[in-house]
Structure 1
């Protein structure tokens, strides 16, 4: 029986995601470097309290500290300060301005509507979210030169990009909001014209090359454009429209001359990192380039001559995946890789190898997942080691792996007291009966193996991020899984074929096949296999639950696999690729592939609905427009199908200021649909989103 106490526990677990330090203390250490990286300080949040610690890795010491001497003076969140702190850059109108003390001056003067400086594409401008926090826009997309004399920026050209509209319903008269938002297959898409601005002289140097296709976000925000450490050059990555060719280019910041350094083409997308929004795995050295490639079927490092572009050799090899270049010292590169831990190919290990491909060794020779941060001087690394069921221990290590000082051991006692059960990591076979796929399972609170439990599959199909992290739950998984377990559901999450983190072939299973939604057949196969050894899983009562891409997948699950999924909750779902984000769809379904776009339409198969469906969308969602849900609803009405729908006035993509209300409505729907019960009248108080969490998003 679902009770008020169950809802209160679910509410508490939902809040742990939005309020760091509430239920888990010491699980996240974010170093704030000082003295050029020789020392750092960090804070630990414990409810409303904060504890500050100063660390000296060379001395192997840590001690409580007052952070006041290390904190800059409070600044304008819409400014980007220079490394020396003397100058800041901001957006004014369609141009960039500089400020030093009370003096302000224009860095550009020719900005115009849809052709201005310092902004990313409107499709990922988060304008609705910015408005809720009193900000007119994101900070400018710029990168300062190391000596604080120049700024790398871009002029964003969205002239000709499709103009779309959202309608704000209140509180007074309706207001029309416009947005440049290209659809898959459109002729025009956002472009970025790179420029280097001399802050003192006002000189504007433009890249002598074609503007970059800006498929998703600003190349500067995405770290696809960066300064050489000595400021002598700007390096940037460029994709072709079909994303099957990737180039590394060098721009002279004085003349604007551009030359191609490395180029690679392939039959599907060529990626500098399987994780779309992670930094590219490319490192420019004195005379060489370390370049990530999946040409041998896995993700490895290759060496190229910086001056001639000649391939010098393959550095790493094997059935595993390089995840991040950490540090290069002399003839040795240190990096993280996944696929080297037998029991879980997603866990990351710290490794080293010589640039000639010899001397490979594990620096962290254990079975844990390692999340690593390195200071600019590269003298050591901060390591957070965990698994999905092992809370993190954070240490400082040298490059042999020796622990210099232990920082934190996460305290999960409050989380356990709230009824939390550690999730179970599992491995089953995909629908092909051959491929291993991995996921996690949460048992319901108060678990009794003699009972029978309804099951919720919390879906996210990628293919740009994983559904399940290999380390201790960072929050994204727990946002829905942990509260649902508190309500008495068995909760599962699976990374099926087509998602990322494995081989090139595993990831490419989604290329041109977004309609498969991260291989829903694999989810069905996983549920059957799990239930074989867990008779308490009732496969006659299974629901899909997902947000955004997961909203698309959840609706698709109940439409295409009604024999498996009896209900679905679809939040902020994109339901028709033909009317969705051009960059995302073309990245994973290919450019100029209208047949694939049409195959992924939930709207066109709405008449297949047999189970129960809840559609939820924000009225002002500028990432996935609300018409996706309304178009699906229209087709469901015409097919005479029964469904529920909630349109949240004023809400954006993540339901930031209506999170508790929306999630409670979703819980109510599942309690009625799967448990056959009337939910309690409990309604949680609104949840305030921590501003620091928002800063991490951008």
Structure 2
């Protein structure tokens, strides 16, 4: 019998254990593996899937619908008459080709050509655009004619009244009104200057180049329907502070170009303000609207903008108060500028970013959603009486207003979470009378339903799907939801032949020990349950949205359009909606208020539960990737949750909310700015970094200024922390398509190096 010394025995056991451990790991990706991963990226998948969606073209006479789809046989065009509800080819391809060649001399085939901007007058006649020209064809006799161009080169610097009699424009920062017949001009203001511009707004992504450059005026005028008045504003930047960037990429310059823009940060008062005015086009007299100056980041009055009533007597809008804890529905007297509040919603946290509001002009009423009961429900506001009543009631979430039938006093809306045993992220269509009676479900299938209504509210297209159910599109009757015509089903045969499989939906238990969370996971197509795979969290915990893939399209592409592609390299990729995200109850949503630094807590719990349930998930090798608010999550994971996360790629991140655009943090982190901003800043927490971090940012990102990434990197250096940083000098906030492969590969290889190779 051989007796081993204790040290040798321990070494032997260690080597055997190490061999077992590494034998369980997925293989290091080869060039062939990377090529396969690329074949599952979003732009590759897009060319292998057909009929993902239907965009209906309703006939002008309301007697039918047409649509175009891309199939494996090329472009297909169909039409349906509401008389027999039968789907038929929209036209005869051979006859169409012959007629078009005879008329233009150009040889085309509809299967190989997309006819753009199709508009159907009735069952047998439609217009379309091809090669920049407009045509009209009758598909009964196949007579075709070229239409005169209706494309006008719009002068953005001039605004024409609805009757065409007057035009308004900005000259030397003042507003001028010109009579189109006599060409006489009237100056409507005289004290305008580069910091006080009449008739202008400030564009969200508008940049100023060079030092001390004032903003270019952007004419913004909304005429009353009769053309007698118009709404505009003064753009007041007298006290506004700028944010700055440097563009190093201009070939003809040998020094960086200075770029600046106005963008208020949380708590700032030194921002661009708008002073709203109503002008009488006949007299030139200005009437001030009785509102305080509005910060430009709330320039649409934080909802649906000021709009005219048909009679031109009033304007109406939703109006958020700064801090987003109060939202009003207001009506403005166009003669006096007096503001009347018709509805007020208040919250101790915030008013839902996804509030829906729709005014019905011919009925003097409006519908709005509110979470005042703890669940987002639908309310009716009577503009004549000022009274409000609940149209829906219950513990579910009204998502969107889809159609309003004033004749029959019925409103159609989507909602989630109402039906028992349905996924709470699936939207279903309902109808209800204005008084709240006769609530009826119109789409009973246990799937998500994307809905598009006909203008006369008699029919709707329903694109039903789920992450594991390809899109199935039908035409339904609005009166009872009955399916009258099948429009098609997504064709994924090419993907299935490549080995692609549906993402797997899973549930987990949240931080409160009782709430069910939902997520999805993507496995490699070469999945081997005897291996142990690292897991990567695709994250975006911004409270204004959710990432659960409730549709087939979202399941196909994943959050960042590459979930399956990344999985192909030997990872399990997951998307999780923790408490604090949108689409559930107000209590669920409120978890993130002044608490966004803890948004990943539920992710860590879900990952732990998945690792306990599945021996092929390696809970000790966890990565995370996110863009924008997801980028904050990714970096924050290695600061606050580094007992779970080991590798992070943080892209275009808002590392410190104090350096962000104002509206988003003020809505979710609170206003005025307090110590929470400081305590949960990635910059403040830089000395707590543990793990492998890659920072990516665009050099001219005006949405999330790169200064926070630079400041974060400086703090990491001062703390002696090792990390990598990659700046794309000419990139703004979205990753440009031309640079996407390079940036994607950088991200992929970082995960491979630190989760598979080490």
The normalised TM-score by structure 1 is 0.84
Between Structure 1 and Structure 2, how many residues are aligned?
660
The question of 1:669 aligning with 2:750 is answered yes
Contact 2:58 2:454 in 1 (8 A): yes
The question of 1:43 aligning with 2:59 is answered no
Between the aligned partners of 1:47 and 1:207, the Cα distance in structure 2 is 59
Distance 1:218 1:526, change over 3 A: same
The question of 1:7 aligning with 2:89 is answered no
Distance 1:91 1:6, change over 3 A: farther
SS in 2 for 1:416: helix
- Tell me the residue number matched to 1:319: 395
- Tell me the residue number matched to 2:712: 632
Contact 2:42 2:562 in 1 (8 A): no
Distance 1:554 1:254, change over 3 A: same
- Tell me the residue number matched to 1:507: 589
**1:362 Cα deviation from its structure 2 partner:** 0.5
Contact 2:161 2:167 in 1 (8 A): no
Contact 1:327 1:335 in 2 (8 A): yes
Contact 1:320 1:339 in 2 (8 A): yes
- Tell me the residue number matched to 2:127: 69
Contact 1:392 1:410 in 2 (8 A): yes
**1:447 Cα deviation from its structure 2 partner:** 1.1
Of 299-308 and 94-103, deviating more is: 94-103
Between the aligned partners of 1:652 and 1:226, the Cα distance in structure 2 is 32
Contact 2:163 2:226 in 1 (8 A): no
Between the aligned partners of 1:305 and 1:408, the Cα distance in structure 2 is 41
Between the aligned partners of 2:271 and 2:61, the Cα distance in structure 1 is 41
Between the aligned partners of 1:45 and 1:591, the Cα distance in structure 2 is 49
The question of 1:304 aligning with 2:381 is answered yes
- Tell me the residue number matched to 1:681: none
- Tell me the residue number matched to 2:618: 538
**1:34 Cα deviation from its structure 2 partner:** 5.0
Distance 1:633 1:102, change over 3 A: farther
Between the aligned partners of 2:454 and 2:222, the Cα distance in structure 1 is 18
Q: 1:334 aligns with which of 412, 419, 423?
A: 412
Structure with the larger RCO, 1 or 2 (CA within 8 Å, 6+ apart): 1
- Tell me the residue number matched to 1:410: 490
- Tell me the residue number matched to 1:477: 559
Distance 1:476 1:536, change over 3 A: closer
Between the aligned partners of 1:476 and 1:212, the Cα distance in structure 2 is 42
Contact 2:188 2:284 in 1 (8 A): no
Q: 1:289 aligns with which of 366, 372, 386?
A: 366
Map Cα deviations across residues 640-692 of structure 1 (whole Å, 9 max, x no partner). 11111100011111121311211110011011011117xxxxxxxxxxxxxxx
SS in 1 for 2:327: strand
- Tell me the residue number matched to 1:384: 463
The unaligned stretches of length 5 or more in structure 1 are 131-135, 678-698
SS in 1 for 2:685: helix
Map Cα deviations across residues 399-443 of structure 1 (whole Å, 9 max, x no partner). 111223332322222333454321112221112211111111111
- Tell me the residue number matched to 2:423: 344
Q: Following superposition of structure 1 onto structure 2, how do residues 98-109 of structure 1 map, counting pairs within 5 Å?
A: none
Point out the structure with max Rg over C-alpha.
2
The question of 1:239 aligning with 2:298 is answered no
Q: 1:181 aligns with which of 263, 274, 289?
A: 263
Between the aligned partners of 1:338 and 1:3, the Cα distance in structure 2 is 44
The normalised TM-score by structure 2 is 0.78
The question of 1:29 aligning with 2:54 is answered yes
**1:347 Cα deviation from its structure 2 partner:** 0.6
SS in 1 for 2:608: helix
Contact 1:125 1:137 in 2 (8 A): no
SS in 1 for 2:369: strand
Between the aligned partners of 1:11 and 1:588, the Cα distance in structure 2 is 37
Distance 1:42 1:243, change over 3 A: same
Between the aligned partners of 2:217 and 2:470, the Cα distance in structure 1 is 34
SS in 2 for 1:336: strand
- Tell me the residue number matched to 1:694: none
